[in-house]
Amino acid sequence: MLNISDIMQTVNMIDHQHLDIRTITLGISLHDCADSDIKKCAEKIYTKICKKAENLVSTGCEIEKEYGIPIINKRISVTPIAQVAAACENNDYSIIGHALDNAAKNCGVNFIGGFSALVHKGFTNADLNLINAIPKTLSETELVCSSVNVATTKAGINMDAVALMGKIIKQTAELTAKNDGIGCAKLVVFANAVEDNPFMAGAFHGEGEPECVINVGVSGPGVVYKALQDVREKSFDIVAETVKRTAFRITRMGQMVANAASERLGIPFGVVDLSLAPTPAQGDSVARILEEMGLETCGAHGTTAALALLNDAVKKGGVMASGHVGGLSGAFIPVSEDEGMIAAVEKGVLNIEKLEAMTCVCSVGLDMIAVPGDTSAEILSAIIADEAAIGVINSKTTAVRIIPAPHKNFGDTVEFGGLLGAAPVMKVNQAKSSDFIRRGGRIPAPIHSLKN
Amino acid sequence: MTVTAADRVGIIASVCSLLSSMSVNILDINQTVMEGIFTMTLLVDTSTSSFSFDEIRSALIQRGESEQLNIHIQRADIFNAMHRV
């Protein structure tokens, strides 16, 4: 039998430190749903998702009860819709968006991702149709998440797409102005998007993926925070070791749940995503982990180094605990979804420039950041361009999920509710970048992309 | 399965008699008082019971609520996964 203190440690992690499985995400290929008639295509998509995901939520709940570990989200990711809808004669892809929304509601999942296009090198007609349908789709549906990949290390940055996405984000905010621009919380602009990410809003079922796959996202900022409280004033060698050990345990649990879900659903296991994903709950914050390392407030000088250590140690600890690691795997720093980040912004210590620096060393990018509603599309595009450059040059994923909250100004707060949280509206550098964005074309791939 | 509570007389008796009434077999039992808190872990086999896992779980939670005991029942795999390489 196991040691009593080991058992109690696990029970306490779940009861008091918010240890949970953040998401079980079922990836479904929709390539076989293509049809020249968009209504038929939407029907095929609805039917296929409902059939493949019919037991996802009930199986998730069953595992949750038997193993005593909360599984917060059950979600679905699908083939980028621009690829599925390319054969359709009608170019109003919001019809497919509605089919996705209805299928997600029917299956009982809380988000469906994949209203997406991959345009890092250029647009197909279908990509343009999809991108133009994003504002309408996100304003008329509840559970659909959208993402657009505008850059890769191999292809460089598609600056036409960067310019377009600034406008699309603005339009999405305006169409969802009643709810503080919540549509933008479901829209991610990526560089180096990964094909097996289980986390929303950026999940989609990539090109190289099988027919169906189970990907699991673990979490546990609260557990890491508690573990670091026990090694206060110790050197960074001990801090790194403590994070690694904790990440190992969290990931082992994720792998076990992934195996159980895969076996019970009869769907192959894909990856465990080793991310530390915060929630707005007290004690489930990545910012508080950084502060526990000795920073007065997240955003103080030293924050980037602290985050670099955390991100690296999470990966090192997690990688041995899982058969296949993938997705984004690292620490997330979404502002509105992290109680400590919100507090740091409200104190005036954490700003967009510091967050941008932090994205150089963690797994994603500028995430869930609310900015004044009058921020221009060109400035949003320029923010995306900077993030894409960080991703492309460092061969890592970066993303921008930014909300120009309509009629809100610096100092106001926007409320999204639930896991999306509440975000203080942050100050944006208003110097113009419009001539820069207007140039268009592509920023070439960096020299280190030529590895062959 | 784990039971934690403020230490007092009769906790083991209460939990074990409930398990016995549902024909749940106890394979191993460990009990200590950690920082003033009664802490007990039990390895149980529910296959001997005619009740489902869900029914056993609900009965234990109900007993826990009425007697101020914090009771968890979960598959042992989770502990093996987290603490054994």
A253 with B75: Cβ contact below 8 A: no
Identify the band that residue A331 occupies on the pLDDT scale cut at 50, 70 and 90.
Answer: confident
pTM: predicted TM-score of the whole model, two decimal places: 0.93
- All structural domains of chain B: 2-82 (3.30.70.260)
HSE-CB of A93 using CA atoms within 13 angstroms: 28
pLDDT at A451: 85
pLDDT at A15: 87
Q: What is the pLDDT of residues A82-106, one digit of tens each?
A: 999 999 999 999 999 999 999 999 9
Q: Are A148 and A119 in contact (CB under 8 A)?
A: yes
Closest partner residue to A6 (CB to CB) among B54, B57, B79 is: B79
Mean pLDDT of A349-354: 96
Closest partner residue to A253 (CB to CB) among B54, B70, B78 is: B78
Could you give the percent of chain A with pLDDT greater than 70? 100
Separation in Å, CA A5 to CA A177, A247, B5, B32, B75: 51, 18, 15, 10, 17
Identify the band that residue A405 occupies on the pLDDT scale cut at 50, 70 and 90.
Answer: very high
pLDDT at B45: 95
Identify the band that residue A280 occupies on the pLDDT scale cut at 50, 70 and 90.
Answer: confident
Closest partner residue to B78 (CB to CB) among A5, A65, A256 is: A256
Is pLDDT of A2 > 80? no
The contacts of residue A155 (CB under 8 Å, 6+ apart) are: A120, A121, A442, A445
Cα of B4 to nearest chain A Cα, Å = 9
| Chain A residues inside the 8 Å CB shell of B41 | 1-2, 4, 7-8
Closest partner residue to B74 (CB to CB) among A2, A66, A249 is: A66
Mean pLDDT of A366-379: 96
Average pLDDT, chain A: 95
Residue A444 contacts B, CB cutoff 8 Å = no
In terms of CA atoms, which chain A residue is nearest residue B40? Answer: A4
Other residues' Cβ atoms within 10 Å of the Cβ of residue A306: 22
* Identity at A372, one-letter amino acid code: P
| Residue keyed to tokens 């345009």 | A119
- Which residues on chain B place their C-beta less than 8 Å from a C-beta of chain A? 2, 4, 28, 30, 32, 34, 39, 41, 43, 53-54, 57, 70, 72-84
A256 with B77: Cβ contact below 8 A: yes
Q: Count CB pairs under 8 A between chains A and B.
A: 64
pLDDT at A1: 58
What was the ipTM of the complex prediction?
Answer: 0.88
Cα of A235 to nearest chain B Cα, Å = 25
Mean pLDDT of A137-151: 98
The contacts of residue B54 (CB under 8 Å, 6+ apart) are: A65
Closest partner residue to A8 (CB to CB) among B2, B53, B78 is: B2
Could you give the percent of chain A with pLDDT greater than 90? 87
Q: Are A107 and A59 in contact (CB under 8 A)?
A: no
* Identity at A191, one-letter amino acid code: A
